[in-house]
Amino acid sequence: QSFLTQPPSASGTPGQRVTISCSGSGSNLGSLAVNWYRQLPGTAPQLLIYSDTQRPSGVPDRFSASKSGTSASLAISGLQSEDEATYFCAAWDDSLNGRVFGGGTKLTVL
């Protein structure tokens, strides 16, 4: 059981816009920023979004994120086949006194 809840799967067609949700509580998303990671099949995770909405250099602006209260979401517009991956949200949790991850959402591009 994860501290942050994500849907296990999502899907979309090329060019479509998809969103992935991340739900937490006051001890995590409600207190500090959320970060998002992408894990392509068979590879290590990569930072996608940090501090709720910031994109590291090299991440295209097709990726955007938002947070409100104890919920966050990642949006991918102009979906491409190479976006097929598992997406994880992450945040600090006061009760664990450590960083926690969502269970991951596997995105399929149909």
Partner 1 sequence: EVQLLESGGDLVQPGGSLRLSCAASGFTFSSYAMSWVRQAPGKGLEWVSAISGGGSNTYYTDSVKGRFTISRDNSKNTLYLQMNSLRAEDTGIYYCAKDPIYDWLPGNWFDPWGQGTLVTVSS
10 Å CB burial of residue 89 (0-12, 13-18, 19+) is buried
Residue 103 sits in the site that holds partner 1 (CB under 8 A): yes
Q: Tell me the C-alpha distance between 72 and 24, whole Å.
A: 8
One residue of 12, 25, 33, 84 binding partner 1 per CB under 8 A: 33
One residue of 14, 15, 56, 60 binding partner 1 per CB under 8 A: 56
User: Of the two residues 16 and 94, which places its CB atom closer to partner 1 in the complex?
Assistant: 94
Q: For residue 4, what are its two tokens?
A: 């942050």
Three-class HEC string of 23-58? ECCCCCCCCCCEEEEEECCCCCCEEEEECCCECCCC
Map residues 73-102 to x or -, x wherever contact with partner 1 holds by CB under 8 A.
Answer: ---------------x-x-x---xxxxxxx
Residue 20 sits in the site that holds partner 1 (CB under 8 A): no
State how far Cα 96 lies from the chain centre.
Answer: 20
One residue of 24, 27, 83, 104 binding partner 1 per CB under 8 A: 104
Positions that interact with partner 1 (CB under 8 A): 2, 32-33, 35, 37, 43-47, 50-51, 56, 88, 90, 92, 96-104
